[in-house]
């Protein structure tokens, strides 16, 4: 009886979420203020990745980012200002690269693609199963799979089909 209970629960969750989203109030200015409360610390991971991409040793880069983050957290100065003055960080990143690490737009770079994919079904332009037109459905993903010793790749010798429910739930993603 797990399946009926699960579907009832999912229905309840979707109805509740729909109600929440219909009445949700978004205050962009307040969102920006909340992000700024950290003094730029939310960008520390992006800064660390940028340092590693430029060839910095992981341990040294981590220590430099952490040292500056802790000083900013204690109220010494803004994180970005501290980072710009750090000799190890400035050895690997110039001022424009550091500034790019602190750009919140980086985290929104895929937003238009996400909206297009999510709302493609609503406009009727879907290629099936929640995919935008042109991405193909299940058959498109199976194309190119070959036979291995008389059976499909990933198939079982006894001919039974293994079902992965986690993957089935992701078909519409």
- What are the structural domains of the chain? 36-102 (1.10.40.30), 104-133 (no CATH)
As to burial, measured by CB atoms within 10 angstroms (0-12 exposed, 13-18 middle, 19+ buried), residue 2 is: exposed
pLDDT of residue 148: 43
Find all residues with CB under 8 Å of 64, minimum gap 6, and list them. Answer: 51, 86, 88, 89
CB 35 within 8 A of CB 104: yes
pLDDT of residue 4: 83
Tens-place pLDDT, residues 36-63? 888 999 999 999 999 999 999 999 999 9
pLDDT of residue 47: 98
pLDDT of residue 78: 92
pLDDT of residue 157: 52
Write out residues in the chain with pLDDT < 50, as ranges: 126-128, 130-156, 158-173
Average pLDDT over all residues of the chain: 79
Q: Is the pTM of this model over 0.85?
A: no
């Amino acid at each position: 009886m797990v399946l009926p209970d699960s579907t009832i629960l999912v229905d309840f969750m979707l109805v509740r979420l729909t109600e929440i989203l219909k009445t949700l109030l978004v205050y962009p200015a307040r969102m920006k203020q909340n992000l700024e409360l950290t003094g730029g610390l939310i960008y520390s991971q992006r800064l660390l990745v940028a340092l590693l991409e430029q060839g910095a040793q992981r341990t040294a880069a981590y220590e430099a980012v952490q040292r500056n983050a802790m000083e900013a957290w204690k109220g010494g100065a803004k994180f970005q200002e501290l980072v710009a003055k750090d000799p190890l960080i400035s050895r690997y990143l110039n001022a424009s690269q550091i500034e790019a690490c602190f750009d919140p737009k980086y985290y929104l770079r895929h937003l238009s693609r996400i909206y297009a994919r999510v709302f493609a079904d609503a406009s009727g332009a879907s290629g099936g199963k929640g995919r935008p037109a042109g991405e193909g459905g299940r058959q498109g993903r199976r194309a190119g799979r070959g036979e291995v010793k008389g059976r499909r790749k990933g198939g079982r010798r006894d001919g039974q089909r293994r079902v992965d429910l986690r993957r089935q739930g992701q078909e519409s993603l």
